[in-house]
Structure 1
Amino acid sequence: MLPSFSYLTEHIGFRGTIKNSPSDFVVTEIEVPEHFLRDTRPELLQETSESAAPGPPEHDPNQAEGCCAASHGKKEHEGAPELKLGLEEASALDSLLGEPMSELLNKFACDLKDAWRLENNAGAGTREFSLGPRLNKKIRADLHSAVRQKFPFLVTVTKDNEMIVKGNADYRELCQLVTEKETSDFFKFLDAKLENSTFSFEPDGDKEHRKVVHHFINRKFGKLLETKSFTVTDVNDQPNMSIMVRFREKSWSRKRSAGGFQRNQDVYTAFTLQKENLETLEAIGLLAAQLDVLPSDFSYTGIKDKKAITYQPMVVKKVTPERLKEVGSKMEKKGMRIHNIRLAHQHLRLGQLKGNHFDIVVRDLQHHSHDSSADLKGRISEAMECVETKGFVNYYGPQRFGQGQIVQTDQIGLALLTEKMVKAVKLFFTPEDTDDPVNNAKRYFLQTEDAKGTLVMLPEFKVREKMLLRALNRYGVNHEGCTKGWLSIPHSLRIFYVHAYCSKIWNEAASYRLKIYGSKVVEGDLVFLEENDESISVNDKVHVVTASEESANKYSMYQVVLPMVGHSIKYPSNKVGQWYHERLSKDELEMCKFRVSSLQLNIPGCYRPILKNVQNLSYFLEGSEKGIKIEENHLNDLNISLHISFDLDPSCYATVCLREIMKCDL
């Protein structure tokens, strides 16, 4: 699996096989972020309750593909709190703008608020901040939404493709009438545009003041909103009056198409996807084709392994719970089951999970060839205790790179970073050595460059391939056509390949760091300092170890992080930093800015801990007759298997942890 990579611990280990069948490797996401998903509109609570179906088993395993997390290790055997940052885990604005521009926008917003507080500041209303030219309409729309959600008191406008941010005069005016919290909540309600939702201001016994608020809303938003006063009980249990705001019925009718279903454009449906022997993106392609939506309409928190039974939360937009239920039985034939269908109010983000639980069976247990011990059970016990105490090297696992494929995902990522668009397309369509419709179609394309003919040959569920081929058919298999082809597939898939390359470099850097410095914190290392102040930037939380700090053994190895390459990170100031520069030069990336504007790719980078701990580790040995646990030490003549359960933090790989336990490549 990772033949040149390091081990952390010194125990002997043992041999065995995993994934003999999908049921030998079960993955369940821990603590699904239900509060992010639940739709709390009162009129929908009953419907949500009735639509719920039984969920997956309580536990299950595999890796999550969130990018990075830096941790502060206090004890070797304790799980460490995480800092989520960079790549998949960056905030929406950081991802869209890059950290430097995002920080400038934060400063503009703070300065504007300060100016507003000065009553006689005449220039406050004319202040503007440019986000620069944004040629892509989808990127502009995402930026408009992200800015409004983070700063309800700002508005964005576009002038000749340049995005301008300025203060929202309506927000400022409403602030003169009600509290700033009410104002902020009102504008967030207005921006969300949830059908049938309502917003209520705080109780207000002053009829004349309520009248002014009514007039303001009707004057500014009368075509979209309507208001009415109703009786409420205030904090003193006294009757009082409050203003309720709701969207006008006709404002929703404009969104309906002749087919009727388009009225559900803003519907989000959450569910738990159980899949077997399917990649996450492949499963999404099959679901998208069945539901007649785009793969980009699905959101999820991490990529799950193919050769496993996995359970993960997902959200799909534009699809009602009823519609999703209708296709459930059809998907079972394709290795999927859909559980716990319910309404939601927003999508999921990559990295938005607490971790994964794994239940794994290791079969064909035996000693390593160089091990003369007769006590296999002792070897297993020793390995478990050692890894539970010391953890493992936090490598990205083979799933990240397309295990067993002729062309691995990191190769495509490198081609995209170096803007070799035609090469990236041809790598993408490189077939495996099998005779099936998909690989035959890929083989035909490489031989003929006939995009139209290849489209006919590909099965319907190969949505990514078909989207790319349609663009190639229209624009040609040249640099421009291939660029447009890559732009035609969802951003999350384009960035996936680049992240795979960044992950490969991180793996190599971790091996180099451990080879030359071992498990001791040395001068020039980067360590993550836990800070609760959210105003402190990520880079300010990453500290370069000094010579005196090395001598004093001030930091733990579990605090040491290595950068995932990008445009907004700093490198170690020792030999490891020099290695990064030499390694990137080898791939012709010495001048790379890690922004590929032609593909709308922005790679800020992040930091990942070199070492990680395993939590809640337990295991037992079972005989060939299921349910019979083995207690004896003499196992060589018995057909036994090892059952292991444990939890890992997001972005950690169970196969990497197993590699450390068993001391062999899997």
Structure 2
Amino acid sequence: MEEAMDGGVRFSSLRFISDHVGFQGTIKTSPSDFIVVEIDEWGQLVNKALDEAVYETSKIEPEPCHSVKKPKLNIQNVSIEHESHGEASPAATRYADRDQDHEAGSENEGSVNGVTSECEKGSAGLLRSLLDEKTHTLLDRFASDVKGMWSSKTELTEPSLALSLGKVLDKKQRAALHSAVRQEFPFLITAGSNAEVVVKPSPEYKELCHLVSEEEALGFFKYLDARKENSKFTFKPDTNKDHRKAVHHFLNKKFGNLVETKSFPGRDHSAGNPNTAAITVRFREKARGKRSRLECERRKAVCTAFTLQKENLEMFEAISFLAVKLGVIPSDFSYAGLKDKKAITYQSMVVRKVTPGRLKNIEKEIMKKRMNVFNIRPVGDSLRLGQLKGNHFEIVIRNLKNQINDSASLRERILEAIENVKNKGFVNYYGPQRFGKGKKIQTDQIGLALLRNEMVKAIKLFLTPEDMDDPVNKAKKYFLQTEDAKGTLSLMPEFRVRERALLESLHRFGMTEEGCVQAWFSFPHSMRIFYTHAYSSRVWNEAASYRLEAYGTKVVKGDLICSDEDAGEHFPSSKVHLVTEEEESANTYTVHQVVLPVLGYNVQYPENKVGQWYHGVLSRDGLQASRFRVPALKLNVPGCYRHILKRPHNVSHRLVRPDPEVEVEGSHADDAMPSLSLSFDLDASCYATVCLREMMKGDI
């Protein structure tokens, strides 16, 4: 394959899956030729008016905040990809952010087994009501296996073992399931992504078991989970001062923002053992008070959902404009996926701290910016990336003609191409627009610099000018020559929101390594992580092309497969299976079930030539798995899996031949040529341009 200047593979060199001839044509002649409509989690097009009856039942009202919480089963999902906003350890955050609170009970006077609650007693019955018998049996077996591995001293790393309990679409049932698992199995942690509940061993529990007895560890974690107001937990008396110090250190390191510890003389102190003391734990008053205030604020926070329509506008530019008009910051907006610029797009969005009325008040100003907002309503929470079923496309391909030196019927070529892609699918590459099509510096190059912690280089790459003599590129050229952020700001046009935000930070903090770190924080988290994801995406494209070159469509030993072809990118490693030699011989799987990892610190690699290729690329780019955490920018890239092939759904087409006798107002200059009107749906994170590339057999 042809190499690009930056060491990657040119998009035009990536392999196809079908061998039809294809045809030529022009897409995106105008934004109206490329219409994208998001399909929400319930399979509804977001440009349709909401069903008011459905809306009323799904609306979530904020709950009043009281000093003493009523008992309820509700644990906030632990995010697999977590952005930390403070100094609290992950373990402390996991418990401090929990919404589960119980009524104040009798204080524990020191008994290790004194933290039993009614919720705990009923947890087994609750689990059985939430899980089918097969899944409940699998969970019991998983918990038993974890305890068995720890008992046998087998080394176990946190990412290596996980169990999926499946998808639970109802939010309240999902929260109850998280809570019930924690109550019955305190040595396990739960994580949530795209409505799926995944169970893993708790590394903090295992670490504590190295310091105290399993009985004490179990009691301590039950204490944390119960969250009884004014309660205490006391470990067994200990005569070893150094050992007590180690326990204090562990508890403060992992849970210091939530609890405080102190040693008190034990019962044996008066009996001639002056060194005997027992460690007592209690919840921090300030932490509980702060948590209560934060909880009140969170519950009172207003979230407004709406459908955003935009035309020929970059999504981040649209968000920045809305943020200025509404008096909020860009990170207050959340969305399920990115959308094309040169298109008319419809997508769901949620903005925090803005009422529906305030958003409606600026509708006229929004429309002046080639945007529109509708389906405005209050909701209970923000959106997550990937929280959609897919996208619907309405595309017009103009100026149709045969490939060079192809004399066959154009109509037959088009029909052949459409049928091939409907049946065989297309290679599920990330589209060229993800990397900045036609740009001198592409987004994956910036992402690689960030992963290498080369912050200054990443800034310079971001501000590298194109070979054009317009005001934006003149400003960028001036900056690279002088590193004068203040002077560059005076040259940079107001509409370049991202560049100006970066330059303002650089003017304040300077072009040092630390100054550049602070400058990157002028971007919201979703934008910072976008660049690192772009690097992982480029490598995935190359890996998929190499996999097809090495093995074709045959599923071979060492391939990774996921039998659920409709699974999104964010399914756990427990759903991934390594193909055996026997399965290869029996042709057990099809190429449509093969997945490849998108780079991150928590992925499994194929165990064949493709896996070797991955490790070679990481070595080439100076990366190891650990480099997919960038603490300086609060970025964690766990990685995921992606099917190498995908199929479009609900495909329909219409070939239009213009009538030369009829002039149509607003028609295109190339309308004398036939055009193709295509309509189809794609799963989330699939690219229509990539589907068209496979269909037409040429660069888009």
| TM-score, normalized by the shorter chain, greater than 0.5 | yes
Instruction: Point out the more displaced range, 563-572 or 444-453.
Output: 444-453
| Residue number in structure 2 paired with 1:270 | 305
Partner letter of residue 23 of structure 1? Answer: S
Report if the CA contact (8 A) 1:264-1:320 is conserved: no
Check if 1:434 corresponds to 2:423: no
Report if the CA contact (8 A) 1:559-1:609 is conserved: yes
Check if 1:122 corresponds to 2:157: no
Distance 1:325 1:625 in 2: 44
Corresponding residue to 2:616 among 582, 589, 607: 582
Check if 1:326 corresponds to 2:335: no
Check if 1:405 corresponds to 2:439: yes
Report if the CA contact (8 A) 1:93-1:147 is conserved: no
Corresponding residue to 1:609 among 643, 650, 655: 643
Tell me the SS of whatever aligns to 2:439. coil
The equivalences for 1:513-552 within 5 A come to 513-530=547-564, 538-552=572-586
Distance 2:300 2:597 in 1: 40
Q: Number of aligned residue pairs: give it.
A: 498
Distance 2:420 2:581 in 1: 31
The equivalences for 1:391-402 within 5 A come to 391-402=425-436
Displacement after TM superposition at 1:288 (Å) = 1.3
**Cα root mean square deviation, aligned:** 4.4
| Residue number in structure 1 paired with 2:79 | 93
Check if 1:448 corresponds to 2:468: no
Q: TM-score, normalised by structure 1?
A: 0.67
Distance 1:609 1:626 in 2: 45
Report if the CA contact (8 A) 1:285-1:461 is conserved: no
Deviation per residue, 1:477-507 (Å, 9 max, x gap): 0211111211332111111000000000000
Tell me the SS of whatever aligns to 1:500. helix
Displacement after TM superposition at 1:170 (Å) = 9.5
Corresponding residue to 1:596 among 630, 633, 640: 630
Tell me the SS of whatever aligns to 1:488. coil
| Residue number in structure 2 paired with 1:315 | 350
Q: TM-score, normalised by structure 2?
A: 0.64
| Residue number in structure 2 paired with 1:503 | 537
Distance 1:510 1:386 in 2: 19
The equivalences for 1:196-345 within 5 A come to 266-345=301-380
Tell me the SS of whatever aligns to 1:433. coil
Tell me the SS of whatever aligns to 1:655. helix
Report if the CA contact (8 A) 2:422-2:648 is conserved: yes
Displacement after TM superposition at 1:173 (Å) = 5.3
Report if the CA contact (8 A) 1:298-1:316 is conserved: yes
Distance 2:340 2:303 in 1: 25
Deviation per residue, 1:296-331 (Å, 9 max, x gap): 010000000011110001111111212212222112
Report if the CA contact (8 A) 2:571-2:641 is conserved: no
Report if the CA contact (8 A) 2:22-2:696 is conserved: yes
| Residue number in structure 1 paired with 2:20 | 11
Tell me the SS of whatever aligns to 2:519. helix
Distance 2:380 2:401 in 1: 51
Check if 1:467 corresponds to 2:501: yes
The equivalences for 1:621-636 within 5 A come to 621-625=655-659
Could you list the runs of 5+ residues in structure 2 that have no partner in the other structure? 1-9, 43-49, 64-75, 85-89, 117-157, 159-173, 187-216, 232-287, 663-669
Cα distance, 1:438–1:269 mapped onto 2, change above 3 Å: farther
Partner letter of residue 581 of structure 2? Answer: A
Q: Calculate percent identity across the aligned residue pairs.
A: 54
| Residue number in structure 1 paired with 2:386 | 351
Check if 1:478 corresponds to 2:487: no
Cα distance, 1:593–1:454 mapped onto 2, change above 3 Å: same
Cα distance, 1:462–1:268 mapped onto 2, change above 3 Å: farther
Partner letter of residue 608 of structure 1? Answer: R
| Residue number in structure 1 paired with 2:677 | 643
Distance 1:459 1:548 in 2: 62
Displacement after TM superposition at 1:410 (Å) = 0.3
Cα distance, 1:531–1:36 mapped onto 2, change above 3 Å: farther
Cα distance, 1:150–1:481 mapped onto 2, change above 3 Å: farther
Check if 1:29 corresponds to 2:15: no
Cα distance, 1:306–1:575 mapped onto 2, change above 3 Å: same
| Residue number in structure 2 paired with 1:72 | none
Report if the CA contact (8 A) 1:8-1:660 is conserved: yes
Displacement after TM superposition at 1:454 (Å) = 2.5
| Residue number in structure 2 paired with 1:556 | 590
Report if the CA contact (8 A) 2:656-2:676 is conserved: yes
Report if the CA contact (8 A) 2:600-2:625 is conserved: no
Displacement after TM superposition at 1:586 (Å) = 1.1
Displacement after TM superposition at 1:571 (Å) = 0.5
Displacement after TM superposition at 1:551 (Å) = 0.3
Report if the CA contact (8 A) 2:660-2:672 is conserved: no
Tell me the SS of whatever aligns to 2:679. strand
Distance 1:637 1:661 in 2: 21
Displacement after TM superposition at 1:626 (Å) = 11
Corresponding residue to 2:652 among 618, 625, 640: 618
Partner letter of residue 9 of structure 1? Answer: S
Deviation per residue, 1:224-272 (Å, 9 max, x gap): 9xxxxxxxxxxxxxxxxxxxxxx9xxx99x97xxxxxxx9971111111
Deviation per residue, 1:521-552 (Å, 9 max, x gap): 0011001145999xx98222211111111000
Check if 1:39 corresponds to 2:74: no
Tell me the SS of whatever aligns to 2:499. helix
Report if the CA contact (8 A) 1:563-1:608 is conserved: yes
Partner letter of residue 380 of structure 2? Answer: H
Report if the CA contact (8 A) 2:24-2:403 is conserved: yes
Partner letter of residue 112 of structure 2? Answer: G
Report if the CA contact (8 A) 1:364-1:640 is conserved: yes
| Residue number in structure 2 paired with 1:664 | 698
Report if the CA contact (8 A) 1:286-1:461 is conserved: no
Instruction: Point out the more displaced range, 26-35 or 356-365.
Output: 26-35
Deviation per residue, 1:561-606 (Å, 9 max, x gap): 0001111111000000000011111111146531111111111111
Tell me the SS of whatever aligns to 1:484. helix
Distance 1:585 1:330 in 2: 51
Could you list the runs of 5+ residues in structure 1 that have no partner in the other structure? 44-89, 133-145, 156-163, 177-221, 225-246, 256-262, 629-635
Distance 2:560 2:486 in 1: 51
| Residue number in structure 2 paired with 1:385 | 419
Cα distance, 1:549–1:484 mapped onto 2, change above 3 Å: same
Distance 1:490 1:396 in 2: 22
Check if 1:494 corresponds to 2:528: yes
Distance 1:303 1:426 in 2: 25
Displacement after TM superposition at 1:470 (Å) = 2.7
Report if the CA contact (8 A) 1:268-1:317 is conserved: yes
Cα distance, 1:274–1:125 mapped onto 2, change above 3 Å: farther
Partner letter of residue 409 of structure 1? Answer: T
Report if the CA contact (8 A) 2:83-2:635 is conserved: no
Deviation per residue, 1:77-132 (Å, 9 max, x gap): xxxxxxxxxxxxx975211289xx89x979xx9xxx9xx9xx999326799xxxx9
| Residue number in structure 2 paired with 1:142 | none
Cα distance, 1:120–1:618 mapped onto 2, change above 3 Å: farther
Displacement after TM superposition at 1:515 (Å) = 0.3
Deviation per residue, 1:28-47 (Å, 9 max, x gap): 0013658899534499xxxx
Tell me the SS of whatever aligns to 2:374. strand
The equivalences for 1:166-205 within 5 A come to 171=226
Displacement after TM superposition at 1:333 (Å) = 2.2
